[in-house]
Amino acid sequence: MAALAAEEVARGWGCRRIEAVVPADSGPAFRLATALGYVVRNRGMEKPLGDTPPDLPEGSRARPMTEAEFGPWLEKSEEDYARSWMERGVPEAEARAKSERDHAVLLPDGLATPGALISVVEHDGRPVGTLWLAVREDDAFVFDVETHAAHRGRGHGRTLMLLAEAQAIVEGRRTIGLNVFAGNDPAERLYASLGYETRQYAMYKPLL
């Protein structure tokens, strides 16, 4: 009843959707939210790390992103992030504003932003993907990981995630987290195979 009352209040304020965060270990709460029409937008996943950085596969190496690469990468990152929100019910103007705002907050100094490690992975000398890892006070967080379209399906996504773990361990962090949007099945399977576990679900419901 309280959840339904909250929806009515939100409607009265003119809101078009309502959101909730549900812990992954709270089965009854998740079932209730689902029964009320909430759907998963994304989920937060986490993995404990050991003390030894994993090696990258033979032929693969990582290097810092260059300033020349940063501009095009940022533009694409903002576009992809906005589109992910649009595909899940957020109006275009709102999604684009959120993307621009979030990137500006998280990368105020571009590649020089403290705690931001933005890397390019090369395989046999060719760039195959990019990684944006944030080293935070108590953990590390993967904000963006992408294998270039022409090189997908060859295991480079796993290489990028191994790089994220290696960087986090070198920086003294023993926990790494990420968010994955619902419907990104290849990414979800990859993260699960690497030992990531879901900690919470971000859910939403359109208000008609």
Is 206 a residue whose pLDDT tops 70?
A: yes
Give the number of residues written for the chain: 208
**Domain enclosing residue 42, as ranges:** 2-206
Stronger pLDDT, 15 or 160, i.e. the higher one: 160
pTM of the model: 0.89
Nearest to 70 by CA among 126, 141, 144, 6: 144
Is 201 a residue whose pLDDT tops 80?
A: yes
How many domains in the chain?
1
The domain that contains 151 carries what CATH number?
3.40.630.30
Is 31 a residue whose pLDDT tops 70?
A: yes
Q: Both tokens of residue 205? A: 């419901």
List pLDDT tens digits, range 121-180.
Answer: 999 999 999 999 999 999 999 999 999 999 999 999 999 999 999 999 999 999 999 999
List pLDDT tens digits, range 64-116.
Answer: 999 999 999 999 999 999 999 998 888 999 999 999 999 999 999 999 999 99
Q: Using alpha carbons only, what angle is made at residue 104 by residues 200 and 23, rounded to the nearest 5 degrees? A: 5
pLDDT for position 2: 64
DSSP 174: -
Is the separation of the CB atoms in 41 and 103 below 8 Å?
A: no
Nearest to 154 by CA among 195, 121, 188, 118: 121
Which residues does 115 contact at the CB level (< 8 Å), separation at least 6? 134, 135, 136
Mean pLDDT of the chain: 92
- pLDDT level of residue 1 (50, 70, 90 thresholds): low
